[in-house]
Amino acid sequence: MWALSYFVIAVQAVPVAFATAPWQVILVSTFRGLLAAPMGLVSGLFYVSAFRPEVRATFMSIYSSIGWFGATLGALAAGYLIGIVGYAIPFLMFSALNVLCALLILRFKEIDKVDNTIPVRRLYKEGFTGLKEAYSSLPTWLREEKDYTTYCIGIAIRGLGLALTGPIFTVHLKENLHADSAQIGELSALSSSIRMIAMPALGWVADRRSRKQIFLTGVFLAMIHPLLFVTRTTVGQLYPVYAMNGLFWACIESVWFAWQMDIIPERRGIYMAILSFFNGTEWAIGPMIGDFLGITLGFFGASVFAAGAIGLGFWRLLKVPEHLRKHEDQ
The chain-wide mean pLDDT, for the chain, equals 83
* For residue 329, pLDDT beyond 60: no
50 with 151, same domain: the answer is no
237 with 286, same domain: the answer is yes
125 with 196, same domain: the answer is no
Give the Cα-Cα-Cα angle 62, 60, 152 (nearest 5 degrees): 145
Of 55-64, 222-231, 245-254, 287-296, the one with minimum mean pLDDT is 55-64
- In single-letter form, the type of residue at position 43 comes to S
What confidence category does residue 37 fall into, taking pLDDT thresholds of 50, 70 and 90? Answer: low
- Looking at the chain, how many residues does it have? 330
Q: Which residues of 73-112 are buried (b: 16+ CB within 10 A; e: fewer)?
A: eeeeebeeeeeeeeeeebbebbbebbbebbeebeeeeeee
Mean pLDDT of 179-197: 85
Of 111-120, 143-152, 271-280, the one with minimum mean pLDDT is 111-120
102 with 159, same domain: the answer is no
- In single-letter form, the type of residue at position 54 comes to E
Whether residue 134 lies inside any domain: the answer is no
Q: Which of 98, 129, 160 is the last residue of a domain?
A: 129
- In single-letter form, the type of residue at position 273 comes to A
The domain tally of the chain equals 2
Q: Which residues of 205-232 are buried (b: 16+ CB within 10 A; e: fewer)?
A: bbbeeebbebbbbbbbbbbebbebbbeb
Provide the residue range defining the domain that includes 112. 2-129
Mean pLDDT of 60-89: 82
97 with 155, same domain: the answer is no
102 with 225, same domain: the answer is no
267 with 151, same domain: the answer is yes
157 with 303, same domain: the answer is yes
Q: Which of 49-58, 116-125, 290-299 has the highest mean pLDDT?
A: 290-299
Give the Cα separation of 44 and 61 in Å (integer): 14
Whether residue 327 lies inside any domain: the answer is no
Backbone angles phi, psi at 321, to 5 degrees: -70, 160
Query: Is the separation of the CB atoms in 229 and 169 below 8 Å?
Result: yes
Q: Which of 78, 101, 129 is the last residue of a domain?
A: 129
Q: Which residues of 295-312 are buried (b: 16+ CB within 10 A; e: fewer)?
A: eeeebeebbbbbbebbbb
Mean pLDDT of 231-255: 92
Whether residue 164 lies inside any domain: the answer is yes
Q: Which of 109, 129, 149 is the last residue of a domain?
A: 129
Whether residue 116 lies inside any domain: the answer is yes
Query: Helices in the chain by DSSP H: which ranges?
Result: 2-17, 22-35, 38-50, 56-85, 88-106, 120-129, 131-144, 146-171, 181-208, 211-230, 238-263, 268-318
11 with 82, same domain: the answer is yes
Give the Cα separation of 43 and 250 in Å (integer): 20
Q: What is the pLDDT of residue 126?
A: 60
Whether residue 150 lies inside any domain: the answer is yes
Q: Which of 41-50, 58-67, 257-266, 307-316 has the highest mean pLDDT?
A: 307-316
Q: What is the pLDDT of residue 291?
A: 87
184 with 293, same domain: the answer is yes
Q: What is the pLDDT of residue 224?
A: 95
Return the percentage of the chain with pLDDT > 70, whole number.
Answer: 88
Mean pLDDT of 290-312: 91
What CATH code is carried by the domain that includes residue 274? 1.20.1250.20
Q: What is the pLDDT of residue 119?
A: 66
Give the Cα separation of 212 and 324 in Å (integer): 12
124 with 163, same domain: the answer is no
What confidence category does residue 239 fall into, taking pLDDT thresholds of 50, 70 and 90? Answer: very high
**Higher-confidence position of 122 and 24:** 24
Whether residue 135 lies inside any domain: the answer is no
Q: Which value, in Å, is the radius of gyration of the alpha carbons in the chain?
A: 21
The candidate with the shortest Cα–Cα distance to 155, out of 203, 219, 209, is 219
What confidence category does residue 325 fall into, taking pLDDT thresholds of 50, 70 and 90? Answer: very low
62 with 85, same domain: the answer is yes
What confidence category does residue 45 fall into, taking pLDDT thresholds of 50, 70 and 90? Answer: confident
Whether residue 326 lies inside any domain: the answer is no
What confidence category does residue 312 fall into, taking pLDDT thresholds of 50, 70 and 90? Answer: very high
* For residue 300, pLDDT beyond 60: yes
Q: What is the pLDDT of residue 192?
A: 86
Whether residue 282 lies inside any domain: the answer is yes
**Higher-confidence position of 289 and 80:** 289
* For residue 327, pLDDT beyond 60: no
